[in-house]
Structure 1
Amino acid sequence: MLETLLIRSRAVPPEPPRRRGATSLEPGRDRFGVLKAVLSAVPWLQVGLGLTVLLLAAMLPWAGDRLLAAMDQQILAVDVDGNFVGESRVGIERAASAWIGKSYFATDLAEIKAELEQRPWVASAAVKRVWPGRLEIDIRERKPLAYWTDGRLVSRSGELFSPPNPEVAGSLPRLAGPDERVREVIDMARSMSERLVDYGLGFASLELEQRGAWTLSLSNGIEVVLGRDQVQKRFERFITVYEDRLASRVDEVSRIDARYSNGVAVQWKADAAGAAPKS
């Protein structure tokens, strides 16, 4: 009996021995599987391109500064262009010579422009760089329209300016009045001048007094007093009387007062006073 049992017990195979410290893993539970799946889902090409762009963008200002520093040099010459009447080309060139020797890139062109436009005759200045070491300056002068009070000039755009050489403007009409009413005086002068041309009369000057009275002077020396009220109506009355009664004797007239409601008062020159007709 004992022998039979022993034989049967030997028929059962023993369990294989396990190595100390070893652990068995199932194939579906690989602990690196999740990490591999995450890494495989990342678009590495796009990420690489993005990082490259960011790196280049960060380096661009630095590289630009380095490039400009390497290319920078001194301003070697300044070219001045423009049609000069009141301003002097030589004077502009002398003023511009202050920037020769300065940095080509670091020089502030707006500063040059502002400094040049402080000169009385300069209406505007355009400044640009010309590689490798030149500046070009284009000057536009103020165009004088008339002489103004106290020897100043008034430009066609209505700007008052005081150049040191106003006489270079040549033969111009004279306007006068409060500075704050300069545009009003210009508009009135233009209107009257256009009407006078139709009758062969030249415009010489127009004055607006502080109290508001207007006085017109013609190029033939006749003074026309228009007063403060209804100035345009009085001017038209003068034109009518001149055309009807005075055109043939214009050389004998010294002064016309148009401040009357129904006519004008004529002051004749001294040598014609005795034969002057009534108006």
Structure 2
Amino acid sequence: MGVRLRALLGILIFMALGGAGWLLQRWEPTLLPIRVIQVEGEMHHHSSQHLQDRLTERLHGGILTADLVDLKRAAEDLPWVGQASLRRVWPDTLRVQVQEYRPIARWGLDGLVTADGVVFRPQGGTIPSNLPMLEGDDKRAPEVTARYLKWRDALERIGHGIQRLSVDPRGDWRIELVSGAELRLGTISVEERLARYLKSASQLESAGRPLTVDLRYSNGFSVKWAPNADTRVRAHPDRVARVGNRG
């Protein structure tokens, strides 16, 4: 009899808990609703109201039963939102902390990239046209952005800006400057080759306007000049040379 009574008591407790859970799920949203969605963090591309509307559409349950994992996913599905965290604030508030992506450049034709090399592709034509262009395989985005930041600073010190930086599937690096000149760095020793250009840039510009500077030589480079440039500088061994093999 004792065993049966304990079994019966266990069944009754289980049923009571199940019933309480059912009642909680059914009545909790009415008794303890979420009345306020509070957004914290800078929102440059999506207003707080837009985010609040998005979360309201996905909100099911009250302050105790709302699915924060699903709501976090809904917030981070917005194209410019990099990270979101949510927490309940008693008695009726859902607090949302948002960090947006901060793009430093375009990535290909349809994407943007952050300084950490995170590529994201916003929908709806929201890509700023005034950012420089970086191109490469998505897997190389951290490497490309790191070199862009380093090379941008180096080139800015001599008065140049990067319009486009690309690396193709073979690992061939190219830089297009805001001035219109293209620097061909090749696949190896690209840091040394860029340093060679930085050292000689002022001398090249004193002679005319370079269109293409091919640095894929072991000890020098070749230059294609814009029309009417003074090509006499090409005969000067300290300024332009074609030495060694390209790579």
Q: What's the TM-score bracket when you normalise by the shorter of the two chains? A: 0.7 to 0.9
TM-score (norm 1): 0.68
1:248 aligns with 2:203: no
The SS at the match of 2:219 is coil
1:107 aligns with 2:66: yes
Structure 1 unmatched runs, 5+? 1-57
Tell me the residue number matched to 1:162.
121
The one-letter code sitting in structure 2 at the alignment partner of 1:155 is: T
Tell me the residue number matched to 1:23.
none
Computing the radius of gyration over CA atoms, which structure comes out larger, 1 or 2?
Answer: 1
Once the 2 structures are TM-superposed, how far is the Cα of residue 82 of structure 1 from its aligned partner? 2.6
Which of 109, 127, 142 is the matching residue for 1:150? 109
Once the 2 structures are TM-superposed, how far is the Cα of residue 209 of structure 1 from its aligned partner? 0.7
Once the 2 structures are TM-superposed, how far is the Cα of residue 163 of structure 1 from its aligned partner? 0.3
Once the 2 structures are TM-superposed, how far is the Cα of residue 154 of structure 1 from its aligned partner? 0.9
- Compare the two structures and name the one with the higher helix fraction: 1
Tell me the residue number matched to 1:268.
225
Tell me the residue number matched to 1:230.
189
Which of 202, 214, 236 is the matching residue for 2:173? 214
Poorly superposed stretches of 4+, deviation over 3 Å: 68-72, 165-170
State how far apart, in whole Å, the 2-side matches of 1:254 and 1:235 are: 16
1:133 aligns with 2:92: yes
CA RMSD, 1 decimal: 2.6
The one-letter code sitting in structure 2 at the alignment partner of 1:246 is: L
TM-score (norm 2): 0.76
* Aligned positions, number: 212
The SS at the match of 2:164 is strand
Tell me the residue number matched to 1:258.
215
User: Structure 1, residues 233-270: CA drift from partner, whole Å, max 9, x if none?
Assistant: 11111112213x124346x2211111122322111112
Percent of counterpart pairs with the same letter? 29
Equivalence map 1:82-101=2 (5 Å): 82-98=41-57
Structure 2 unmatched runs, 5+? 1-12, 235-239, 241-247
Task: Indicate conservation of the 8 Å contact 1:146/1:155, yes or no.
Answer: yes
Task: Indicate conservation of the 8 Å contact 1:86/1:169, yes or no.
Answer: no
Task: Indicate conservation of the 8 Å contact 1:77/1:100, yes or no.
Answer: no
Tell me the residue number matched to 1:188.
147
Once the 2 structures are TM-superposed, how far is the Cα of residue 199 of structure 1 from its aligned partner? 1.3
State how far apart, in whole Å, the 2-side matches of 1:235 and 1:168 are: 29
The one-letter code sitting in structure 1 at the alignment partner of 2:219 is: N
State how far apart, in whole Å, the 2-side matches of 1:186 and 1:166 are: 22
Tell me the residue number matched to 1:119.
78
Once the 2 structures are TM-superposed, how far is the Cα of residue 179 of structure 1 from its aligned partner? 1.3
Tell me the residue number matched to 2:198.
239
The SS at the match of 2:97 is strand
